[in-house]
Structure 1
Amino acid sequence: MADALLWLSFGGPESPADVRPFLENVTRGRGVPPERLDEVEAHYQHFGGVSPINALNRAAIEAVEAALARAGIELPVYFGNRNWHPMVEDTVARMAADGVRSALVFPTSAYGGYSACRQYDEDISRARAAVADAPDLLKLRHFFDHPLFVAAAAYAVRAVAPQEYRLVFTAHSVPESADLASGPPEEGGRRYSRQIAEASRLVAESLGVVKHDVVWQSRSGPPQVPWLEPDIVDHIEALHAEGVRSVVVSPIGFVSDHLEVVWDLDTEARAKAESLGMAFARAATPGADPRFADLVVELIREHLDAAEPRKLSPFPAAGCTLNGAPCATACCEPARRR
């Protein structure tokens, strides 16, 4: 049973004054130099100091509330973030004050990996430790291969695709060491990149696209540390050299339009393509698609009604944890810093 749903996300600034403290929250303890923060702060200020993510999360929550009502499920939805207000610690405190004793947690990431999965466990554990009589919190599973996620991503590509195009999927890059640590040894590690590749394959297959590419974006780290490649901008140059004249980019690694989507893709990648005379289209992220709210309800029903998980891949339905406990497979470890 559950008394509520906690919608747990990354967070983002909602005014110019928020940007620097938000970035300091994101990078605390990571030794990121001030000049790198200056560079990223300029990206946010380019958009008026406002990330789209909080507003998009609120809209998605409204859609989920409506979907729950249609399904006859009485479950209040609370909103908490890792890095900016409403902070998850404050939200869990409010849940406790409201008498919530047990809640399901929907993290706004479809995948495994440290930042995409394990760090949400840490958020849950930290919030519960900060709140007296905190409710039990059960995090829902990965959903990269759920048919509704795949359908929403495919629809978004179809909505912007010209008659001929190269389909390119992007996701947030991570250090290679973090990717290796994101899966149990018996699966060969690399849970994160393997899930990205599988989701991309499923979407391309549903579109009838024979050839597609999986590339990366938004790397941020010392140049001597290897990260997943190729970068989307470099890949656009490579496609141009191959004679590709039109590209459609699907940000398959993102649920909603993070700043990285609107800057790295809508700004930098688009500018590169246009400078080379290539047509460029960016597919929408799935969070605003009506099917996404239905997906969340299905994940909830897996626990409330013991509904059979719907999946399109043979990958384990992993990522489900109670009260921030690590997965039994001990995967998704943080990367070692050098």
Structure 2
Amino acid sequence: MALRLSAFLLLLFACVPAGAAADAQAGHYRVVGYATDWNATDARTLDRIDTLIFAFAHVEQGRVVLPDGALPRLERVLALKRGKPSLQVTIAVGGWGAGGFSEAAATADGRERFAQSAAQLVASHGADGLDVDWEYPGHHESGIASSPADRGNFTLLLKALRQALDRESGKDGRHYAISIAVADGPFVDGIDIAAVAPVVDWFNLMTYDFVNRMTPTTGHHTGLYRSPLAPADARSGDAAVRQFIAAGVPPGKLLLGAAFYGREFDDVQAAHDGVYQAYGHYQGEHPWPQLKRDYIGRKGFVRHWDAKAMAPWLWNPRTRAFISYDDPQSIAAKAAYVKAQRLGGIMYWEQTQDPQGELVDAIWQGLR
């Protein structure tokens, strides 16, 4: 679908309750960011954000708990609510390589233990909800336990969590939100999307990491559309959105993901300036400030733009290094897509990787 960058009515960024799905029909698009801490040097960034999701709590012996050292970081994020009362702060449990979900979800007692401990954690710290980041039901690529029964048990786990949070709501009158972090493509076969959709307030689409150390070629790790050079089964933001809508998710519950970091591949085959080429080794990740300081237009790296994928990349012809990332131009394209598709907004990973707020600004301006 061609993107139309037409003028939209000026959108008011008054924050909606955490439990309410983004009302794209009414013109509000949410800006939701994961935050491992808060160290932004420019306080105005906070004015652009609706929800911060603190990462991460873990599942230990079936209970949702904060790991050692997490509490001070969570408290710094929660403290932001004093300066901006409309800010919502939720707590994410899980993350890549974080297990315990399959075991907890396998029995009614386990689901209740998970749900009760999660609700108590949220309410006792004055947070606004829980983000479930099980990567992924029915999959063990990250080294966690999995089972074919995860698909049904995931739905039951979320229903138990909804009931536990609603019991807390009965005590204080608040609505506590549930969101889930989800990937597209083959990673959704372990989720009954149609059954889950009514239970959760919104879906955080992790439309990034499409290429990584586990994939055989370089490529756009957070491309909006499939590049002409990509294989037919290549993942993209648009393909993810279409997959979830086809499965029954209301568009307003879908938040498109943006990446505040790049992925570097070295010893890359030189054809097409390194795009979708075999590589020798995966070098690692670079946060946005490092990309600007050390790579974009520096040390032989040349920025390119894929007008089909709506994605930038860096190519160093001398060292044959390739970097895929999001920048203000690709984020503007994603924002236009969100508005055209009437999605709920944009989610990003991760707040500390944009300390000056440049990429958050791009999201906010694009959704206006």
What TM-score do the two structures reach when normalised by structure 2?
Answer: 0.28
Structure possessing the higher relative contact order (Cα contacts under 8 Å, 6 or more residues apart): 1
- Structure with a larger share of its residues in strand: 2
